Amino acid sequence: MHDTTRSTLALAALGLLAAAPLTHAMDTPSAPASLAAAAANARPALPQALAPAKTDFKADEYRETDLWARIRSGYAIPDVDNTLVNRHAQWYSSRPDYLARISGRASLYLYHVVQELEKRGMPTELALLPVIESAFNPQALSTANAVGIWQFMPGTGKDYDLKQNMFKDERRGVVASTDAALTYLQRLYTMFGDWHLALAAYNWGEGNVQRAIKKNQALGKPTDFESLAELMPAETRNYVPKLQAVKNIVAAPNQFNVTLPAIENQPYFTAIDKTSDIDLAVAAQLAEMSVDEFKALNPQFKKPVITGGEKTKILLPKENAEKFHVNLASFGKALSSWTTHKITSAKESIASLASKFGTTPEVIRQANNIPDRTRLKAGSTILVPKTSAMAHTDIAENIIDNAVVAFEAERSAVKRAKAGKAQRFKAKAGVSSTKKSRNTSSTRKRR
C-alpha cells in the first residue's frame, strides 16, 4: 500500500503513541510558552458554511506526491511577521527530533485533515494547527481537560455532537473531532471575517475576542490580531505566531535546516462499519495489528469492548481492512466477552462481583478504571465478563448513552485514615500538654 519510508514512519509513530502517557506534557519539551493550547470553552450556535463543499475530491487531482507540498499549495491565511514568529520558528527548527516525532504521528491523520479542509474550501495551513494544539497526539490531555489532536473542551465537544460517554470520547476520534474542529473554525471565520481572529477565538473563546474588539473600538484603536494582542493572555498572543512559524518551516524547510519526513499524498486509513459489539483486542487480532497500532487509529474507544450500533466505525489501513473482513468471515467465535452490570446495593463488593462473573477483582478494576482501596457506589454500571447465557447479547444503546461509574473510599481505608488522624491529633495534643506543663513549671520557679 505504501512505500518503505511511509510504512517505517507510521510504525515509528504508532510506537510513540503507544508509549505516551495520557498527559499533555508527555511530549512537550520545556520552552517559553506551552505548545498545547486549550480549545475554546464557549458554547457556539449552529455553524455556517464557509464555502461550497466539493464532493468529488480525489488525491490524483494533484501532481504532488508529498503531502507537505499539497499543504503548501493551499496556503491562504495572510502572513504574520514579527519577533514572536521568529522566536517560535527558531524554537521548532532547533528541535529536529521533536519535529520528526510530530511528523510521524501526523502521517496517520494528516491526509484526512487536508482532504476535509479542501472539501470545505478552507486554507490548508489549518492542517498544521494540531502541531500547536497537541503535537498530533490524540491522547493529549490538557490541565483544563481538553483532549485530542484538536483539544476540545467537554462543553464545546458536546456543542458539536462529539459523544462523550463511558465507552468512548469522540473528542479523541480523528474523523469526528476533525469534522467538529473545521466546522467550529468555519463558524468563527464567518463571525470575525478574519482568520487570525478566528484562531484567537478558537484558543481564547469567541466571547473574549469580541470583548477585546469592543474595547479597542471604544478607544478608537484598530481591531486586527496584532492590535488586540496586548489584551490577550500570553498563550493566545503566541498562538497565531506559533502557527505562522510552523507554516514557514513547512513552506521552506531548507531555510531552517529542517528535513521533513516524506508523507505520501494518499489516504492512510479507511473506515469500516461495525454493527455489533467486539472486543478491542479481537478487532486488532482480526485486522492483524497490535493493540497499540489499533488504538492509534481508534483512540476514542475507552473500554476493552467497542460497542455496536449503526454509526460506529473503526479505522484501519486499507490492507488491514481487507484482512479484517477475511478473518471475520472465518472467526467462528463470540466477538465480545464483555457485558454490563448495574450495582444496586452497597453489599456488592468488587470481590463478590469477581466471584459471581468468574474473574478476579484486578480484572474488574482494570476494565473499569477503579482505583485501589475504593468501592463502587450503588447506581454504577460497570463492565463484567459475559456469562454463557449472554454470549451473543450486545450492550443496549440506552446503557451505552447513560451508564456512569462512581466510587468511594473503602470503609477500611476510611477507618485507617481516621485512626491515623486521631493518632496525629493525640500526639500533637501530648506535645502541647508537655510544653504547657514545662511553661507552668518555669513560671512558678521565676515567681
Could you report the average pLDDT of every consecutive run of 10 residues in the chain (447 residues)? 42 46 36 36 38 48 80 98 98 97 97 98 98 98 96 97 96 98 98 98 98 98 98 98 98 97 96 93 98 98 90 94 97 95 92 96 96 94 92 91 92 51 58 53 43
Cα–Cα distance, 6 to 393 (Å, whole number): 40
Model pLDDT, residue 26? 36
Using CA atoms in the order 354, 360, 362, 366, what is the torsion angle rounded to 10 degrees? -70
Predicted pLDDT of residue 392 = 83
Q: Output the nine-digit C-alpha cell for 91.
A: 524554537
Q: What is the pLDDT of residue 401?
A: 93
Q: Say if residues 108 and 65 touch (Cβ distance below 8 Å).
A: no
DSSP reduced 3-state for 312: coil
Q: Among 355, 262, 80, 297, which residue's Cα sits nearest to residue 172? A: 297
Torsion angle, alpha carbons of 210, 215, 221, 222, to 10: -10
The strand pair at 374-376 and 407-409 is best described as: antiparallel
Question: Which of 298, 292, 39 has the alpha carbon at shortest distance from 147?
Answer: 39
Enzyme catalytic residues: 133
CA 101 to CA 103: how far, in whole Å?
5
User: What's the angle, vertex CA 111, arms to CA 35 and CA 113, rounded to 5?
Assistant: 55
Cell representation of residue 255: 531555510
pLDDT at 47: 39
Which domains can be identified in the chain, with CATH numbers? Answer: 4-256 (1.10.530.10), 270-329 (3.10.350), 338-409 (3.10.350.10)
**pLDDT for the residue 222:** 98
Going 13 to 17 to 18 to 19, the CA torsion angle's sign is: positive
